[in-house]
């Protein structure tokens, strides 16, 4: 997934993308550090807005901390918007982009995206259990939980992209799904650590299973998709490598890294990335509901499957979030209440394990191409592994490690205060998720892609995804995760 | 790369680029190593099950 996905004719700014990686780390760490200050008794983020399921709109919004209740829901929303505007504008300025254009576009993006989130929290959309329906005095609901707001945000973006393309183009300065999801993943490290601290054995087991995801994505998916693209569809090597990487590993990062490694023309991996983004959108709209229907009794299988099947970071982790809410809703309706966090943690672990090796795989392909296929004066250099390493993962690991240490290696007082701090950081993780979903939708101009003759590329993706990737992912997820459930909520 | 180039590029079959032996090796070794490692991991998974 990328904010450059539809800019087909622009060169790939690899250097800028790396800067965006680091920017995500900085923003994520700032939010996390501010949240941690609350452990000392000074609440720096308690004003952040959170949305509850509602029938009366006036009661939908509130500050996350009671100490800031005087601010009211509207005040909390404005404060959150202002803080994000300042933080992200500073970040965008550091990237060398136009701050004024970004600020104006971000204001609109935030307004639509958060309005979508509020709409998704309406009781008729979000209420899950009969008890909740009774509480709100309603006879039916879509049972999407309040995270159904992610889908509303995605659909809002899709409508803008496909019905109002000029408006979508006007918003482009603030349409940065790659940045938003990377910040969210860095912050997510705290939630995952707090969740993991509660069940260290299960957490370490998840890490072990991440190795299977790496093997599956790089050695099995990639080889099969490359063969299908080359042999069945007759694509050249230049197209087949980014295509195989995009479909197998990660839509944007892997397609661009491996495309660069084999010296493909810049537009090729960018176009492939666009295709992957579109398919990821379709997958996010379909797979979580399939998981809810068929895998609700195997929550961790569902989480791992989403991580293996959806091929962009943002869509995969966000899809994991939707899957978690849907599966937990279905289980709750059956009287089973799982602890939250385990399904999305499984999805994230699987996806992050896959991402870690993008640089290594790009180096391997670069070595083979420069030494055996396209011999020239340049040879692949080991430093390229580091250059192409997705840096935001370092932010996730740092936040995860610090949080885990605070949870299990520090004083009981700190361990007790940590979940509240992580909860405040999580409010921002959710907001960055909402921005990601909306941005993905805005980037998915189906008509434009069709005009560019994407039918054949889409055919490769369709055949690979529905003929192979989804089913093998399901099999592997089942083999490694079936029979193991998240802990029950107390 | 202009739009017409992209269209022609995607639409074109590349008979001039048959699978080279090194590509076949890459596919074969990837699948071979991948399946072997998966079997090994499935075995490890069997002996070291997820702990709750």
* Residue B15 C-alpha, separation from nearest chain A C-alpha, in angstroms: 7
Which of B14, B26, B38 lies at the smallest CB-CB distance from A216? B38
Contact B30 A220 (CB under 8 A): yes
Which of B1, B19, B28 lies at the smallest CB-CB distance from A230? B19
> Residue A48: which of A86, A79, A69 has the closest Cα?
A79
Does the residue A354 lie in any domain?
yes
CB-based contact, A202 to chain B, within 8 Å: yes
Contact B52 A202 (CB under 8 A): yes
Does the residue A488 lie in any domain?
no
Contact B38 A202 (CB under 8 A): no
pLDDT at residue A31, as a whole number? 97
What does each of the 490 residues of chain A score in pLDDT, given as a tens digit?
333 333 333 334 444 444 788 999 999 999 999 999 999 889 999 999 999 999 999 999 999 999 999 999 999 999 999 999 999 999 999 988 889 999 999 999 999 999 999 998 999 988 766 777 888 999 888 777 677 788 788 889 989 998 999 999 999 999 998 788 789 878 988 887 887 776 566 666 766 777 888 888 899 999 999 999 999 988 889 889 999 999 998 766 788 778 877 878 766 776 787 778 778 878 888 999 999 999 999 999 999 999 999 887 777 887 898 899 899 999 998 889 998 888 988 888 888 778 777 777 888 888 888 888 877 666 667 776 676 666 777 888 899 899 989 988 888 889 889 999 999 999 998 899 889 889 888 887 777 767 666 788 888 889 998 898 999 999 989 988 888 888 888 7
Q: What percent of chain A has pLDDT over 90?
A: 39
Give the residue numbers in B contacting A (CB under 8 Å), as ranges: 1-3, 6-7, 9-15, 17, 19-20, 22-23, 26-28, 30-31, 33-35, 37-38, 41-42, 44-45, 48-52
Q: Which residues of A touch B9 (CB under 8 A)?
A: 236, 239
Does the residue A490 lie in any domain?
no
Q: What is the ipTM of this complex?
A: 0.87
Q: What is the SS3 assignment for chain A?
A: CCCCCCCCCCCCCHHHHHHHHHHHHHHHHHHHHHHHHHHHCCCCCCCCEEECCECCHHHCEEECCHHHHHHHHHHHHHHHHHHHHHHHHHHHHHHCCCHHHHHHHHHHHHHHHHHHHHHHCEHHHHCCCHHHHHHHCCCCCCCCCCCHHHHHHHHHHHHHHHHCHHHHHHCHHHCCHHHHHHHHHHHHHHHHHHHHHHCHHHHHHHHHHHHHHHHHHHHHHHHHHHHHHHHHCCCCHHHHHHHHHHHHCCCCHHHHHHHHHCCCCCHHHHHHHHHHHHHHHHHHHHHHHHHHHHCCCCHHHHHHHHHHHCCCHHHHHHHHHHHHHHHHHHHHHCCCCECCCHHHHHHHHHHHHHHHCHHHHHHHHHHHHHHHHCCCCCCCCCHHHHHCCCCHHHHHHHHHHHHHHHHHCCCHHHHHHHHHHHHHHHHHHHHHHHHHHHHHHHHCCHHHHHHCCCHHHHHHHHHHHHHHHHHHHHHHHHHHHCCCCCCECC
Q: Tens digit of pLDDT for each residue in A331-385?
A: 998 889 998 888 988 888 888 778 777 777 888 888 888 888 877 666 667 776 6
Q: Tens digit of pLDDT for each residue in A114-170?
A: 999 999 899 998 876 677 788 899 988 877 767 778 878 888 998 999 899 999 999
Q: Which domain holds residue A32?
A: 14-481
Q: Tell me how far apart the alpha carbons of residues A169 and A108 are, in angstroms, rounded to a whole number.
A: 13
Q: How many domains does chain A have?
A: 1
Does the residue A126 lie in any domain?
yes
Which of B3, B26, B38 lies at the smallest CB-CB distance from A368? B26
pLDDT at residue A175, as a whole number? 93
């Amino acid at each position: 997934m990328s904010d450059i996905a539809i800019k087909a004719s622009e060169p790939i700014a690899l250097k800028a993308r790396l800067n965006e990686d680091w920017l995500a780390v900085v923003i994520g760490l700032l939010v996390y550090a501010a949240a941690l200050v609350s452990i000392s008794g000074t609440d720096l983020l308690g004003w952040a807005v959170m949305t509850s399921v509602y029938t009366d709109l006036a009661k939908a919004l509130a500050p996350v901390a009671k100490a800031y209740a005087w601010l009211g829901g509207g005040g909390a929303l404005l404060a959150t918007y202002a803080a994000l505007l300042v933080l992200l504008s500073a970040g965008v300025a550091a990237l060398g982009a136009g701050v004024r254009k970004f600020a104006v576009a971000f204001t609109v993006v935030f307004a639509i995206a958060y309005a979508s989130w509020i709409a998704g929290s309406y009781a008729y959309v979000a209420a899950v259990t009969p008890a909740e329906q009774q509480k709100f005095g309603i006879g039916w609901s879509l049972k999407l939980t309040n995270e159904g707001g992610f889908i509303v945000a995605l659909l809002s973006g899709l409508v803008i992209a496909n019905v109002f393309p000029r408006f979508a183009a006007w918003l482009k300065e603030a349409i940065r799904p790659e940045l938003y999801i990377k910040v969210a993943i860095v912050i997510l490290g705290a939630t995952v650590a707090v969740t993991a601290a509660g069940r260290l054995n299960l957490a370490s087991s998840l890490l072990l299973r991440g190795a299977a995801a790496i093997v599956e994505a790089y050695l099995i998916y990639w080889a099969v998709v490359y063969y299908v693209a080359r042999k069945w569809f007759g694509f050249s090597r230049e197209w087949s490598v980014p295509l195989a990487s995009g479909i197998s590993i990660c839509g944007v990062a892997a397609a661009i890294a491996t495309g660069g490694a084999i010296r493909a023309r810049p537009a090729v991996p960018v176009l492939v990335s666009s295709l992957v983004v579109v398919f990821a959108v379709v997958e996010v709209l379909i797979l979580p509901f399939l998981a809810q229907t068929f895998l609700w009794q195997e929550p961790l299988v569902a989480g791992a499957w989403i991580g293996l099947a959806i091929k962009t970071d943002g869509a995969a982790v966000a899809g994991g979030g939707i899957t978690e809410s849907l599966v937990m809703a279905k289980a709750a309706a059956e009287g089973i209440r799982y602890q939250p966090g385990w399904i999305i943690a499984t999805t994230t672990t699987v996806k992050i394990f896959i991402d870690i090796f993008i640089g290594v795989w790009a180096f391997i392909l670069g070595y083979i191409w420069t030494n055996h296929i396209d011999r020239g004066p340049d040879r692949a250099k080991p430093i390229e592994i580091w250059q192409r390493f997705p840096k935001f993962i370092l932010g996730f690991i740092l936040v995860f490690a610090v949080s885990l240490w605070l949870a299990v290696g520090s004083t009981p007082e700190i361990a007790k205060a940590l979940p509240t701090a992580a909860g405040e950081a999580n409010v921002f993780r959710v907001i960055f998720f909402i921005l990601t979903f909306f941005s993905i939708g805005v980037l998915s101009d189906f008509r434009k892609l069709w005009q560019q003759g994407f039918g054949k590329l889409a055919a490769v993706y369709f055949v690979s995804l529905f003929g192979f990737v989804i089913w093998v992912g399901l099999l592997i997820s089942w083999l490694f995760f079936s029979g193991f459930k998240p802990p029950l909520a107390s | 790369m202009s739009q017409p180039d992209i269209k022609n590029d995607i639409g074109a079959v590349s008979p001039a680029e048959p699978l080279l032996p090194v590509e076949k090796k890459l596919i074969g070794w990837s699948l071979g190593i991948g399946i072997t490692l998966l079997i090994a991991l499935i075995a490890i998974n069997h002996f070291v099950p997820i702990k709750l």
